């Protein structure tokens, strides 16, 4: 009896069994790096608040403890240090509801840093913050109090956008040269992993100069603040008109060429949620080439979430 075919058959079966053991079961395959990077570098959200069910409750007696527990999620891609994000409560009489409801709390309380999303965690970091009033004091003769508690999130954020642009110093010249790229506007759909970002970049050639029109947009539902606004007290009527709708910016090219940008003070004001940065670039050489326009936006942001509660006097 020839053993050759039997040995080969056994080897084939063994290889098949080993390969089956190494396969990842359906549903357990991790995201590929490219897909994870796409998720991290896009999106239009920053910090998101939500209530845990029944915290705070819709109704309590004045002798009971009032507790509000919020889940804070960083759904953008910028890590928040403790001093860069705060939650505070307004809308109530502090003589009636006190305790933690009079205190500003950091979004990163007890965790150090509220991390943004990354290739290792495409959902972003989260934390729970608790506001606790050991009791509620209703004034003598008052049997009901129904405030709407307003929970404000104020934070500083940074957006990075890196659109690829083509520049061509000979764009309007008749030439038979096969060019590497053609200047065209760049649509920045999907955001850049933050509530404020770049919606498009207009690209125009004027002689040997490239002109970039960078459109800044508030993609979120909150209000943009200056990066120099006092975010720790933003719920205490301390904000001025000059604190609103201002974004500091920085623009450079990966090729290292100098840019001349306006507004000259490095701050763009948003009107109806949008603003423009205009940059000029003197193109070196005579050939078209692709480069990266690196844009950084520095700003504050404020959002709110409310919950009506009813407090009634305990029967005596």
| Structural domains in the chain, sorted by start | 43-157+303-312 (2.60.40.10), 158-300 (2.60.40)
* Least confident window among 94-98, 146-150, 178-182, 265-269: 178-182
Whether the Cβ atoms of residue 307 and residue 288 lie closer than 8 Å to each other = no
The residue ranking higher by pLDDT, 85 or 23, is 85
Q: What's the token pair of residue 307?
A: 């919950």
What pTM does this model have? 0.86
Q: Tell me the average pLDDT across 269-291.
A: 94
Rounded to the nearest 5°, which phi and psi values hold at 297? -120, 125
**What are the strands of the beta sheet with 274-282, ordered from one edge?**
186-187, 196-206, 209-218, 274-282, 260-262
Does residue 11 carry a pLDDT above 60? no
Q: What's the token pair of residue 256?
A: 């290292």
């Amino acid at each position: 009896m020839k053993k050759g075919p039997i040995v080969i058959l056994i080897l084939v079966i063994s290889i098949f069994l080993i390969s089956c053991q190494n396969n990842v079961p359906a549903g357990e395959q991790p995201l590929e790096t490219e897909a994870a990077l796409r998720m991290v570098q896009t999106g239009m959200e920053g910090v998101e608040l939500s209530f845990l069910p029944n915290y705070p409750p819709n109704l309590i007696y004045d002798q009971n403890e009032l507790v509000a527990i919020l889940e804070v999620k960083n759904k953008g891609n910028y890590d928040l240090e403790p001093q860069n994000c705060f939650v505070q409560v307004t809308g109530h009489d502090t003589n009636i509801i006190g305790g933690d409801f009079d205190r500003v709390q950091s979004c990163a309380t007890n965790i150090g840093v509220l991390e943004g999303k990354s290739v290792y965690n495409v959902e972003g970091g989260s934390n729970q913050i608790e506001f606790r009033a050991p009791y509620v004091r209703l004034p003598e003769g008052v049997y009901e109090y129904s405030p709407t508690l307003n929970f404000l999130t104020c934070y500083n954020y940074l957006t990075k956008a890196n659109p690829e642009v083509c520049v061509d110093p000979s764009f309007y010249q008749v030439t038979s040269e096969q060019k590497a790229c053609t200047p065209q506007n760049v649509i920045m759909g999907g955001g850049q992993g933050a509530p404020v970002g770049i919606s498009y970049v207009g690209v125009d050639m004027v002689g040997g100069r490239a002109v970039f029109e960078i459109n800044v947009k508030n993609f979120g539902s909150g209000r943009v603040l200056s990066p120099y606004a006092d975010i720790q007290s933003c719920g205490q009527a301390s904000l001025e008109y000059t604190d609103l709708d201002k974004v500091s910016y920085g623009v450079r090219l990966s090729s290292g060429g100098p840019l001349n940008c306006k507004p000259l003070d490095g701050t763009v004001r948003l009107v109806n949620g949008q603003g423009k940065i205009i940059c000029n670039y003197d193109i070196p050489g005579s050939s078209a080439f692709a480069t990266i326009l690196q844009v950084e936006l520095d700003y504050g942001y404020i959002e709110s979430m409310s919950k009506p509660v009813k407090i009634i006097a305990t029967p005596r």
